[in-house]
Amino acid sequence: MKVLGRHLIAEYTGCAPAILNDASYVEESLLEAVRQSGATIVRSVFHHYAPQGVSGVVVIAESHMSVHTWPEYGYAAVDFFTCGQAVDPYRANACLAEKLGCRQAIVSEIKRGIPSETDEVISHKPIALTVPSTGTLG
Protein backbone atom coordinates (compact mmCIF):
# COMPACT_ATOMS: atom_id res chain seq x y z
CA MET A 1 0.00 0.00 0.00
CA LYS A 2 1.08 3.53 -0.74
CA VAL A 3 0.21 4.92 2.70
CA LEU A 4 -1.29 8.41 2.85
CA GLY A 5 -2.53 8.28 6.41
CA ARG A 6 -3.31 6.42 9.59
CA HIS A 7 -6.79 5.76 10.94
CA LEU A 8 -7.10 4.81 14.58
CA ILE A 9 -10.39 3.22 15.63
CA ALA A 10 -10.84 3.30 19.41
CA GLU A 11 -13.39 1.66 21.69
CA TYR A 12 -13.56 3.38 25.09
CA THR A 13 -15.33 1.58 27.92
CA GLY A 14 -15.86 2.33 31.58
CA CYS A 15 -16.28 6.06 30.96
CA ALA A 16 -18.30 8.25 33.33
CA PRO A 17 -21.85 8.58 31.95
CA ALA A 18 -22.20 12.23 33.00
CA ILE A 19 -19.03 13.15 31.10
CA LEU A 20 -20.19 11.31 27.97
CA ASN A 21 -23.50 13.18 28.05
CA ASP A 22 -21.99 16.68 28.33
CA ALA A 23 -21.68 17.94 24.74
CA SER A 24 -19.61 21.01 25.67
CA TYR A 25 -17.15 18.94 27.71
CA VAL A 26 -16.85 16.24 25.04
CA GLU A 27 -16.23 18.90 22.38
CA GLU A 28 -13.57 20.72 24.42
CA SER A 29 -11.94 17.38 25.23
CA LEU A 30 -11.72 16.37 21.58
CA LEU A 31 -10.42 19.81 20.62
CA GLU A 32 -7.70 19.50 23.27
CA ALA A 33 -6.85 16.01 21.99
CA VAL A 34 -6.52 17.45 18.47
CA ARG A 35 -4.21 20.19 19.76
CA GLN A 36 -2.10 17.61 21.64
CA SER A 37 -1.70 15.61 18.42
CA GLY A 38 -0.24 18.58 16.56
CA ALA A 39 -3.12 18.76 14.07
CA THR A 40 -4.59 21.97 12.66
CA ILE A 41 -8.24 22.58 13.59
CA VAL A 42 -10.51 23.68 10.74
CA ARG A 43 -13.97 23.38 12.32
CA SER A 44 -15.92 21.37 14.86
CA VAL A 45 -19.56 20.29 14.88
CA PHE A 46 -21.18 18.55 17.86
CA HIS A 47 -24.71 17.38 18.57
CA HIS A 48 -26.40 16.30 21.82
CA TYR A 49 -29.10 13.67 21.38
CA ALA A 50 -32.30 13.38 23.40
CA PRO A 51 -32.43 11.83 25.86
CA GLN A 52 -28.66 11.23 25.89
CA GLY A 53 -25.48 10.88 23.88
CA VAL A 54 -23.16 13.10 21.90
CA SER A 55 -21.72 12.90 18.39
CA GLY A 56 -19.09 15.24 17.10
CA VAL A 57 -16.40 15.71 14.53
CA VAL A 58 -13.40 17.99 14.37
CA VAL A 59 -12.30 18.56 10.80
CA ILE A 60 -8.56 19.05 10.74
CA ALA A 61 -6.32 20.16 7.88
CA GLU A 62 -4.88 16.64 8.03
CA SER A 63 -8.32 14.83 7.92
CA HIS A 64 -10.69 14.41 10.93
CA MET A 65 -11.25 13.17 14.46
CA SER A 66 -14.68 12.12 15.73
CA VAL A 67 -16.49 10.77 18.78
CA HIS A 68 -19.88 9.14 19.38
CA THR A 69 -21.00 8.46 22.96
CA TRP A 70 -23.45 6.11 24.64
CA PRO A 71 -23.59 7.36 28.25
CA GLU A 72 -26.00 4.61 29.25
CA TYR A 73 -23.22 2.08 28.53
CA GLY A 74 -20.22 4.18 29.56
CA TYR A 75 -19.00 3.73 25.97
CA ALA A 76 -17.50 5.99 23.30
CA ALA A 77 -16.55 5.14 19.71
CA VAL A 78 -13.68 7.31 18.50
CA ASP A 79 -11.87 7.83 15.16
CA PHE A 80 -8.56 9.59 14.66
CA PHE A 81 -7.84 9.83 10.92
CA THR A 82 -4.64 11.71 10.08
CA CYS A 83 -2.71 12.20 6.87
CA GLY A 84 0.97 13.01 6.60
CA GLN A 85 3.69 12.45 9.17
CA ALA A 86 3.41 15.57 11.34
CA VAL A 87 0.34 14.57 13.40
CA ASP A 88 0.45 11.90 16.12
CA PRO A 89 -3.00 10.27 16.48
CA TYR A 90 -1.77 8.22 19.46
CA ARG A 91 -1.24 11.44 21.43
CA ALA A 92 -4.82 12.46 20.63
CA ASN A 93 -6.04 9.05 21.77
CA ALA A 94 -4.18 9.22 25.09
CA CYS A 95 -5.48 12.71 25.80
CA LEU A 96 -9.11 11.96 24.96
CA ALA A 97 -9.17 8.64 26.82
CA GLU A 98 -7.96 10.42 29.95
CA LYS A 99 -10.41 13.30 29.62
CA LEU A 100 -13.38 10.95 29.17
CA GLY A 101 -12.33 8.89 32.18
CA CYS A 102 -11.88 5.78 30.06
CA ARG A 103 -11.02 2.65 32.05
CA GLN A 104 -10.16 0.57 28.99
CA ALA A 105 -9.32 1.61 25.44
CA ILE A 106 -9.00 -0.87 22.62
CA VAL A 107 -7.28 0.76 19.65
CA SER A 108 -6.83 -0.58 16.12
CA GLU A 109 -4.77 1.13 13.43
CA ILE A 110 -5.64 0.97 9.76
CA LYS A 111 -3.26 2.26 7.13
CA ARG A 112 -5.16 4.37 4.56
CA GLY A 113 -3.96 4.83 1.02
CA ILE A 114 -3.62 3.50 -2.47
CA PRO A 115 -3.48 -0.28 -2.93
CA SER A 116 -0.08 -1.29 -4.22
CA GLU A 117 2.20 -4.29 -4.39
CA THR A 118 4.84 -2.38 -2.46
CA ASP A 119 4.56 -0.84 1.00
CA GLU A 120 5.68 2.75 1.28
CA VAL A 121 4.62 6.01 2.88
CA ILE A 122 3.98 8.58 0.19
CA SER A 123 3.94 12.34 0.52
CA HIS A 124 0.68 13.99 1.47
CA LYS A 125 -0.16 16.70 -1.09
CA PRO A 126 3.25 16.74 -2.78
CA ILE A 127 2.10 19.02 -5.61
CA ALA A 128 -0.63 21.55 -6.17
CA LEU A 129 -3.40 20.05 -8.23
CA THR A 130 -5.69 22.23 -10.29
CA VAL A 131 -9.08 20.63 -10.68
CA PRO A 132 -11.29 22.24 -13.34
CA SER A 133 -14.63 23.46 -12.07
CA THR A 134 -17.58 21.71 -13.65
CA GLY A 135 -20.15 24.13 -12.33
CA THR A 136 -23.24 22.58 -10.79
CA LEU A 137 -23.92 18.90 -10.47
CA GLY A 138 -26.49 17.28 -12.71
- Point out the residues that are catalytic: 63, 68, 83
> Distance between CA 59 and CA 74 in Å, rounded?
25
**Rounded Cα gap, residues 126 and 136, in angstroms:** 28
Q: Which of 41, 44, 84, 73 is nearest to 60 (CA)?
A: 41
Q: How far is 126 from 128, CA to CA, in rounded Å?
A: 7
